[in-house]
Amino acid sequence: MKSLLVKNGLVVTETAETVCDVLCEGEQIARIGKDLRPDGASAADIETIDASGKIVIPGGVDVHTHLNLDVGIAVASDDFFTGTVAAACGGTTTIVDHPAFGPAGCDLDHQIKKYHGFAEGKAVIDYSFHGVIQHVDDKVLTMMETLAEQGITSYKVYLTYGFKLSDADVFKVLRRAKELNLLITVHPENDGVINLLREEFRAAGKTGAEFHPLSRPAECEAEAINRMILFARMADNAPLYIVHLSNKLGLEFINAARIRGQKNLWAETCPQYLLLDDSRYKLPGHEGLKYIMCPPLRGKADKESLWQGLKADIDTVATDHCPFFFETKKMLGKDDFTKCPSGAPGIEERIPLMYGEGVVKKRISLRRFTDLCCANPARLFGLYPQKGVIAEGSDADMVIIDPDKTATMSKKLLHENVDYSAYEGIEVQGWPVYTISRGEVIAQNGEFCGRQGRGKFLKRGQVQRKR
Ligand code: MN
């Protein structure tokens, strides 16, 4: 069996941060301790990495990506090869992708089957999918259980866009999720007000990117978050996960619900909402289109409240990675922001940004950083302890960060299949220098060195985190 020995790094394990060795045998972590050496057969074929002065964290788990996403007017430019190569180079070893909507009335497994086709033979890291619920009937509710048996244990519902669910349908889904202990993730925005505002801005000729955030106010997001929270409460504390939280008012509703005693409520935010703000929409030329995403970037006070929230209230940091080329796709919105495909890249930037802007700048601890980016997403989405933790018996997924290496975020440095980075010019301290997936080094010093198609589908279990 092939072995890999990572020596003398500062290892973030389940319980401690200690300088020690990690011995991987085959695809799993065999031992963690001081002065390890492989014994017997494994000694013959061993690769050693000197991690002195470096930090060894669990491989990143990004539970919100959109590879191959077809939004009608455009298709996200990263597929399961290019997107996962970028992920690997940036220190992420597991993704859970949110599929696009399928044709109207399609079965619940329609998009899952399609996405298996997208990922097989392409992905270079391990992956799974959330299910997407775009209509509700008895067949859909029955298939939630069938698909859960195949490892699809979380579902996404939308409160806006073409396949938004009605209140009654959302409630049916939440009741069913409670019964089966499945996690419902929600894109929360108030559809009615947003569509009215968009139409009013267009009619008034207010079509620049700066009207995008004004057409989707924080109150629209917060209202929908609160609505979902109360529906989940009526469904006997059904497991609910708020994706891409962007604003302070929404966080206040989440905290208030927890104080009232609501269980099984979790929240995710993304680096863009922590590090960028709505001044980006006023950039000269058509630069503002690069930041058109839903929910939009918010004000500085929202950013600050999210950083505060990361200390305890927010559970995960994911990316909502959804890249479109600026020159050919985002520019579709140059005369009308409502024609711009919504989304931005970020799968490769997450770990370096959260380490550099979070840990180095002392906004979050090293432990909290790994909880937010690795352990919590793995726990919530049924992948723990196979993923998200450096522990004996876990998959040997690790990232070695060089805390002394600095880098300037730039398209030139990154591997995403897109022509810009939303974080261009941000200098970060600390950079992933090795990415290890199931005992194999798949990226080193910013270059991918793995094999196309090596990633495996992960059959996920149920939510394993209490709150
Ligand atoms: Mn998304």
Q: What separation in Å is there between the alpha carbon of 343 and the centre of ligand 1? A: 8
- The pLDDT of residue 466: 74
Centre of ligand 1 to C-alpha 74, Å, is 15
Tell how far the Cα of 93 is from the centroid of ligand 1, in angstroms. 19
What's the 65 CA to ligand 1 centre distance in angstroms?
7
How close is the Cα of 198 to the center of ligand 1, in Å? 20
Whole-number Å distance, alpha carbon 69 to ligand 1 midpoint, is 10
pLDDT per residue as tens digits for the range 325-337 = 999 999 999 999 9
For ligand 1, the distance from its centroid to the CA atom of residue 165, given in whole angstroms, is 16
State whether residue 273 is helix, strand or coil: helix
Q: How far is the CA of 270 from the centre of ligand 1 (A)?
A: 10
CA of 438 to the centre of ligand 1 (A): 27
Element of type H or E holding 369: helix 366-370
CA–centroid distance, residue 194 to ligand 1 (Å): 17
Q: Six-digit token pair at 293? A: 């995403």
Quote the ligand 1 centre to 51 CA distance (angstroms).
35
CA of 320 to the centre of ligand 1 (A): 5
Token representation of residue 287: 């630069």
pLDDT number for residue 145 = 98
Residue 77, token pair as written in the block: 């430019």
In the chain, the amino acid numbered 432 is P
Measure 62 CA to ligand 1 centroid, in angstroms: 12
Distance CA 395, CA 384 (A): 10
Q: Tell me how far the alpha carbon of residue 384 lies from the centroid of ligand 1, in angstroms.
A: 23
Separation of CA 49 and ligand 1 centre (Å): 36
CA of 339 to the centre of ligand 1 (A): 18
Distance between CA atoms of residues 269 and 207, nearest Å:
28
* Residues with Cβ within 8 Å of residue 216, at least 6 apart in sequence: 189, 194, 197, 294, 295, 296
Q: Say how many Å lie between the CA of residue 297 and the centre of ligand 1.
A: 14
CA 68 to CA 74: how far, in whole Å?
10
Q: pLDDT of the chain along its 467 residues, tens only?
A: 899 999 999 999 999 999 999 999 999 999 999 999 877 655 678 999 999 999 999 999 999 999 999 999 999 999 999 999 999 999 999 999 999 999 999 999 999 999 999 999 999 999 999 999 999 999 999 999 999 999 999 999 999 999 999 999 999 999 999 999 999 999 999 999 999 999 999 999 999 999 999 999 999 999 999 999 999 999 999 999 999 999 999 999 999 999 999 999 999 999 999 999 999 999 999 999 999 999 999 999 999 999 999 999 999 999 999 999 999 999 999 999 999 999 999 999 999 999 999 999 999 999 999 999 999 999 999 999 999 999 999 999 999 999 999 999 999 999 999 999 999 999 999 999 999 999 999 999 999 999 999 999 999 999 887 77
> Encoding tokens for residue 202?
């267009």
Distance 262 CA to ligand 1 centre (A): 25
How remote is the CA of residue 100 from the centroid of ligand 1, in Å?
9
Measured in degrees and rounded to the nearest 5, phi and psi for residue 101 equal -65, 150
Helix intervals (H) in 204-247: 211-215, 218-234
Task: Measure 18 CA to ligand 1 centroid, in angstroms.
Answer: 36
pLDDT for position 155: 98
Residue type, 139: K
pLDDT at site 73 = 94
Separation of CA 98 and ligand 1 centre (Å): 7
d(CA 6, CA 433): 13
What are the structure tokens assigned to 81, written together? Answer: 């090869």
Cα of 324 to ligand 1 centre, how many Å?
13
Q: Output the average pLDDT for the chain.
A: 97
Tell me, in angstroms, the distance from the centre of ligand 1 to residue 66's CA.
7
Cα(244) to centroid of ligand 1, in Å? 7
CA of 237 from ligand 1 middle (Å) equals: 24
- 171 alpha carbon to ligand 1 midpoint, in Å? 21
SS3 50: strand
- C-alpha span between 313 and 256 (Å, rounded): 11
Question: Taking each helix axis from N to C terminus, what angle separates 167-180 and 138-149, rounded to the nearest 10 degrees?
Answer: 30
> From the centroid of its chain, how far is CA 97?
8
Alpha carbon of 149 to those of 117, 120, 239, 329, 384: distances in Å? 19, 20, 18, 38, 17
How far away, in angstroms, is 124 Cα from ligand 1 center? 21
Q: How far is the CA of 7 from the centre of ligand 1 (A)?
A: 38
64 Cα–ligand 1 center, Å:
6
The distance from CA 184 to its chain's CA centroid, rounded to whole angstroms, is: 15
